[in-house]
Amino acid sequence: MEKTPRKAWQLQPLTFQFWHCLLFGLEDIDSLVTILLYHLPSIFVTLATAIDATVFPVYWFTLYHLIGHGEWIRTLSLVGSFWLPLIPKYWVGRHRPLVTMNWRVRGGDGFKGADKGSFPSGHACFLAATFTNLHHSLLLNGHHLLRHEALDLGSLCGNGFIFYGPLLVWFLYASLARVIVGAHWFGDVVCGWLMGYAWCHLWWWASSAVLSLISL
């Protein structure tokens, strides 16, 4: 009897079999990226642990900033993004890589989250909502970080890159850290990004639609 081909995630990374399975089985691209990120050197895990410690302070600061500027629709979208992924997590019930691949969680048990499903990444969802709301509030509306006066961040920070660049790097690495430590699949993070981004824009569209109806 012919043996069933092994999936890419069942093979050792960086071997001929691994890459052969990838090239002839693109359905495993999610597993490939997950394995490659998980096997990054330990310095990336240390950095992931450090950045993870900033996630909730930035999240709460963003809430403080939005409330301070009276941006209630953005505030509601940000709060909702924290709870939104719980629905598909329990509905889909995808196992985390640490269960499927029998991995240990790098960076400590704080990344484990084994009591919930893997898909989508809750961190990636509310990080995407945090980034999107901060971007629109600070760079597009020209709001100051703390005070309520309008501020031209474009002229102050070289068209916003000095602030926007590090914020983007922080957002991407804080999300991918979930894959590096073995707590999520790469696809979980990507779907979390899309969910958080779409969730914010859905709130903005709905609020604009309601205001348009009221003004008729």
* DSSP assignments along 134-162, one per residue: HIIIIIIS-B-SSSSSB--HHHHTTTTHH
Percent of the chain with pLDDT over 90: 13
pLDDT at position 152 is 41
For 210, list phi and psi in degrees, rounded to 5: -65, -45
Residue 16 has pLDDT above 70, yes or no: no
Q: Which domains does the chain have, with CATH numbers?
A: 13-99+108-211 (1.20.144)
Does the pLDDT at position 6 exceed 90?
A: no
Complete DSSP assignment for 18-83: HHHHHHT-GGGHHHHHHHHHHTS-HHHHHHHHHHHHHHHHHHHHHHHHHHHTT-HHHHHHHHHHHH
Each residue's pLDDT tens digit, 121-171 = 888 999 999 998 888 877 655 555 444 444 444 444 444 555 677 888 899
Are 92 and 161 within 8 A, CB to CB? no
Q: Tell me: the pLDDT tens digits for 59-82?
A: 988 888 888 888 888 889 999 988
